[in-house]
Amino acid sequence: MPKRPRRHATARDFPRTARLNRLYQEILAESIEHIDDERLELVTVMSVVVDGDLKRATVYVDSPGGEDDDVIVLAALEEHRFRLQGAIGRQARVKHTPELVFRPDDVNRSAARVEEVLRSLHDDER
């Protein structure tokens, strides 16, 4: 007898780390909004990647400035790291709060560069 297709996805359909990635991203994005630091005004939490042992979470952030702005934003996030880890500890209800590591998300910049190259090629054909 063939199995019936499922209509709704359940928590078991997704690995625990994937669920934690999404949960931590939401918690961090909301917590950063509430921090009164002008260096963090336009910061976006692009993604969070939790290690398999759940002890460390890499947070990828984007800001509208260039690479110089990344240094300022990462320094500000590092200053507020314990506050952000505390927010995860309070809201996520996990046994151990992961150590947060902040990295710039270069995906948008790389995509913009590829798009710029493609447009220049298209303009050259005309």
Binning the chain into helix, strand and coil, the percentages to the nearest 5 are 55, 15, 30
**8 Å CB contact between 57 and 24:** yes
Task: Give the domains, in start order, of the chain with CATH numbers.
Answer: 13-125 (3.30.300.20)
Has residue 12 got a pLDDT over 70? Answer: no
29, 25, 70: which is closest to 47 by C-alpha? 25
pLDDT bin (cut points 50, 70, 90) of residue 7 is low
Question: What is the distance between the alpha carbons of residues 100 and 33, in angstroms, rounded to a whole number?
Answer: 17
Tens of pLDDT, residues 39-91? 998 899 999 999 988 899 999 999 887 777 889 999 999 999 999 999 999 99
Has residue 11 got a pLDDT over 80? Answer: no
